[in-house]
Amino acid sequence: MSHDLFGGPRVLGFNWVINFQKGMTLFWVLGLMLFYDNYSIQAWVYLALHGSYGIIWVLKDVIFPDIKWQTKITFGAGLIAFLMVLGPYWIAPYLLISPVLGETHVGANWIWTGAAIFIYAIGLALMLTADAQKFYTLKLEKGLITTGMFRYIRHPNYLGEMMIYGSFALLTWHWIPWAILAWVWLGYFSINIIMKERSMSRYEEWDQYKKRSWYLIPFIF
């Protein structure tokens, strides 16, 4: 479904679809603020965090792209990727900024807003550092990466992504964004991580590395 849905030629870059959604998020959130005349602190913070993340992602794809997203897909696959995975990310700011949840719903209070900013910053650092390390390390030498960001966590980039989007859901202060994240994390991230683990298991040092490292969170999981 993610590569060949409905068949046809693979002419659409998977990264094009991802970059479009992430890059347009700034304009989507700003458009919601203008349309609903909502300029609350929570709305501005959401715009700053999710909007900056989208721009940073596009820059990351230009400077040190992930080869996994450089594959070509069909238009049907691109459409389903947008509708089922990427597009639903835009529901969180809609719930926060529009009056759909009622006039009393304003999002997270100042304590949880501060927590969201903290989580976002740590997650962004994890994701960027891990992806940069993987890109430049593999350019010099192919093999299993067991140092740096990957020394204790086998999937720090996924942990970073989860923290980033978790901060957006926290800002929204509603269960729907968390349900969307549960769908993405369980239905997409978990499959990618399992496939990555299977791929890494072909290396000779895998068993030793697996014993001394954690899946996502050090000392917990």
In this structure, the dihedral spanned by the alpha carbons of residues 21, 24, 29 and 35, taken in order and rounded to 10 degrees, is -120
- Judge contact between 124 and 53, C-beta under 8 A: yes
Q: Are 206 and 145 in contact (CB under 8 A)?
A: no
Q: At what angle do helices 156-172 and 175-184 cross, to 10 degrees?
A: 160
Domain edges within the chain: 40-66+90-212
Q: Which residue has the tokens 């399992």?
A: 194
Can you tell me the distance from the alpha carbon of 136 to that of 64, in angstroms, rounded to the nearest whole number? Answer: 8
pTM to 2 decimal places: 0.92
Strand partners, 153: 214
Q: What is the pLDDT along the chain (221 residues), one digit of tens a residue?
A: 666 666 667 778 889 999 999 999 999 999 999 999 999 999 999 999 999 999 999 999 999 998 888 888 888 888 888 888 899 999 999 999 999 999 889 999 999 999 999 999 999 999 999 999 999 999 998 899 999 999 999 999 999 999 999 999 999 999 999 999 999 999 888 998 999 999 999 999 999 999 999 999 988 88
